[in-house]
Amino acid sequence: MRLQDFPIPPNKSKRGMHGSASCYPKEGNWRERLALCRDMGIGFYKFMEDGGASGIEVYKACWHEFGIVPIIRFYIGTPGQCGPREEDTIKRIADVLGFATYFELCNEPDLPIEWPNKKQPQDWLYRSIDAYCEYAPKVLAAGGLPGTFALASGAFGQLRIDEGGNEIPPIKVNFLQLIHNKNPGIFGHGGWVSMHNYDISHPLDYPYDNVNRYGTPLTDSEYISAPPWAWAYRTMESINQERAANKNGPDTSIWTDDTCFNAYMVFQSHLEELGLTEVPLITTEGGPTMTRRDDGRYCAMHESLHPLVVADIYRRIGPIRNYFTYCHWMLYNTTGGWMTDCWLYGSHDYSRTISMMKGTPVGTWGETLDFEDVAPPGPPLPPVLHPPGPVTPPVEKPILTWLIPDWNEAEVTEVIGAPGKTVWKLTRADIAPDNMANTLWANLLDEHGQRTQATVVVQNVNGDEFVLPHKPGEPYNQPMWKNDRLTVFIVDPSVSDSIKNIHGAYWDIPGVNAFHVGYILTFQKWIVSDETESSEPPLPQPVTEDNIRKQAWNHIYPVGGIRFNPGAAFQAVARTRGYGAPVTQEFDVGGYRTQGFVLRILYAVIGDWQNIKEVAW
C-alpha cells in the first residue's frame, strides 16, 4: 500500500479528535458532537469500542453523514488479541463503512497499569511485539488496518516512575525493526504506527528549546502573559532558579528526553531506518490539555495559550507527508475523570480553541493530506503479507554501524576474504543498556539483504562453546549470564567477522542496569569483489576539503564516535593551531565547555566562544 491507498477524509484534513473514554459511543447527543467536529474541520475521530460492535451505528454515521474517518480502539486486555469476536466486529464495521479503517488492539503496554493486576512482565516489549505480529494479520484478513501499540510519553528517553512507584526503563531498541523482522509483511500492507506524543506542558520545540538546553531566564512579558495560577503562584526569581538548576545542556535531544510533542521524531526515525516511507504515523491521543504542568520551568496550559499551541501543532505536522492526524484528548467524557482535559462539559474553557477551528478553513495551517491520484475509500483489499518480488542485487561491501558506547569493551576482528568468495561481515553492533534482560540477539542477512539462516557460534572465556539457538520468526537469541564473556561469529563455508568481549558486567557505569544489558548484532553475507576485473582505475570523484574532513571525523574509531560540526569553535581553533584530531566529545566541567584534541585540551566559558583557552594533557 502507498500512503494514498489508506483512507483519508473528503476534506483531506489532518485535524483529529479523541472522543469519550466510554466503550459505548452511542450516547446522548452523539450526532450533535460529530456535527460540531465536522464544523471544526476534524478529519479523523478516535472511538473506544467494547469489541462487540458497540458503536457500529455511530461509525457508519461518522463516515457517511459527516465525512470523518473513524479510528477504533478495542478495549481489551494487554498485550492485545484478535479473537473470533473481534474478527467478526471488524468485518461488520468494514461492511457498513465500505472500506478498511484504522484499529488499535493494545494501549500503552509500557505502563504497568495497563497489564492484568498492574503486573508488568520484564519482557513486556517482546510480548507486545509477539502479540501484535499475531493479531495484525487477523485484523487485515477481517478488513481492518492494524495500528501498533501506542506508547506513553517518554517511552524512549529516560527512566520513568509511574503512579505506583514502579520504575519503567526506556526503550533503547528500534521496536518497529523487531516487528518488521518478525513479520515483514505487516508494514506496507496496511499496518500503521500509533503514537501518544503528548506535550506534557512542554513547548513544541522541546527538548531543543533554550530553556531546556541553556536555562534561559523568564522575562517580565512572558511571566505576565500567563495567569498566576499557571505559574503555581511562584515568583519569577524561583522559576528562573529552577531553570538555571535544571538546564540539560546543548547535547540534549529527542533521544534523551521524548516527553513532548517531538516524540514523533523517534517513530519517524525508526521507520526511515527501515526504509518504510509509506507507513502512516497517527497520534491517537495527544495534545495540550488544560492545567497540565509537569515541568516547573514552564507555565501550565491556559485558555489563551491553548489555541495557539493547537494551531502550531497542525502547522508542524502539515508538511510531514506520512503524519496523517493528531487526535486531541479529549472532546468529552462520560466515564468520569480527566475533567480539565474535556473540550466540552469539562471544568475548563476550551471555547476559544473550538471557535478558532470552526472559523479557520482546513488547509490554512497547511494541515492537509495532499497525495496524487487519491481514490475514495473502497472495499477492503485482501491482505498480502509476503508479496513476491524480484530478487535485489547483491549489496555493496557492508560498512559497520557501531552503536556500542565507549564504556563497553566489545572489539571487532574483520576478515578480508578472497575475490569472488563470500564472507560474513558484521554490519551493525548495537547495545541496549536496559530492557533487554541480558540477552544476545543476532540477525542474519544474505547477500540480498533478506533474512537467512546459518550457524552462529558463541565461545565463552571459560572454554564453553555453543550454537546460538534459532527461533522461527525471531533473531537468533540466547540469555547471557553474570560471568559470561563471549565471542560471536558465523560458521559455514564462508569466513566471518567476529566480535569479542560481549558481556553485561558493567556494575560501575551510571544509569546502566548491569543485569539488563543486551546486544543486537547483524551479520550479512558479502561477495568479495574481484578488483582485477577492470584494468582501468576508478575515476576520482570531485570532493571538497570540508567533505574529506567530515568523513575523517565520522570515521574516528569507533565509527561515528565523535560528531562532526563544521561550525564548532573548538574544531576551528584546533585546526588553526595544529592540535590534531579530537580524542573526546565536547563535555562540560562546571560552567566550561571542553574538548580534548591530540596535543591540547581546549575549554571556554559556555557561550563565550571568542575566548578559547587551552591546557596541556
> Per residue in 78-87, pLDDT tens?
999 999 999 9
Which range of 215-224, 461-470, 559-568 scores highest in mean pLDDT? It is 215-224
Q: What order of strands is seen across the sheet that includes strand 193-195?
A: 145-146, 102-104, 69-74, 44-49, 15-18, 323-329, 281-283, 193-195
Predicted local distance difference test score (pLDDT) of residue 191: 97
Quick check: 541 pLDDT over 50?
no
Predicted local distance difference test score (pLDDT) of residue 331: 97
What mean pLDDT is predicted for residues 588-612?
Answer: 86
Instruction: List pLDDT tens digits, range 8-33.
Output: 999 999 999 999 999 999 998 999 99
Predicted local distance difference test score (pLDDT) of residue 563: 59
Q: What is the mean pLDDT of the chain?
A: 86
**Cα–Cα distance between 480 and 464 in angstroms, integer?**
13
Predicted local distance difference test score (pLDDT) of residue 44: 98
**Cα–Cα distance between 434 and 268 in angstroms, integer?**
22
Predicted local distance difference test score (pLDDT) of residue 494: 72
**Cα–Cα distance between 26 and 44 in angstroms, integer?**
17
Predicted local distance difference test score (pLDDT) of residue 532: 38
Predicted local distance difference test score (pLDDT) of residue 570: 86
Could you report how far apart the first and last alpha carbons of the chain are, in Å?
Answer: 58
Quick check: 535 pLDDT over 50?
no
Weakest mean pLDDT among 62-66, 172-176, 353-357, 532-536:
532-536
Instruction: List pLDDT tens digits, range 270-314.
Output: 999 999 999 999 999 999 999 999 999 999 999 999 999 999 999
**Cα–Cα distance between 378 and 393 in angstroms, integer?**
36
In CATH, the architecture of 3-207+258-358 is Alpha-Beta Barrel (3.20)
Cα–Cα distances (Å) from 246 to 212, 236, 249, 335, 588, in that order, read: 7, 15, 9, 37, 14
To the question of pTM greater than 0.85 for the whole model, the response is no
pLDDT bin (cut points 50, 70, 90) of residue 394 is low
What mean pLDDT is predicted for residues 409-414?
Answer: 86
Question: What percent of the chain clears pLDDT 70, i.e. is strictly above it?
Answer: 86
Q: Which residue has the higher pLDDT, 472 or 132?
A: 132
CATH number listed for the domain at residues 401-527? 2.60.40
pLDDT bin (cut points 50, 70, 90) of residue 454 is confident
DSSP output for 140-157: HHHT-EEBPPB--TTTTT
What mean pLDDT is predicted for residues 429-437?
Answer: 64
Predicted local distance difference test score (pLDDT) of residue 468: 84
Instruction: List pLDDT tens digits, range 151-210.
Output: 998 999 878 777 777 788 889 889 999 999 999 889 989 999 999 999 999 999 999 999
The cell numbers describing 158, all together, are: 529516560
Predicted local distance difference test score (pLDDT) of residue 381: 42
Domain ranges of the chain: 3-207+258-358, 209-252, 401-527, 547-615
pLDDT bin (cut points 50, 70, 90) of residue 452 is confident
CB atoms within 10 A of CB 211: 24
Torsion of CA 209, 212, 216, 217, to 10 degrees: 120
Element spanning 160, H or E: strand 160-161
Same fold, 3-207+258-358 and 401-527: no
The cell numbers describing 505, all together, are: 558486567
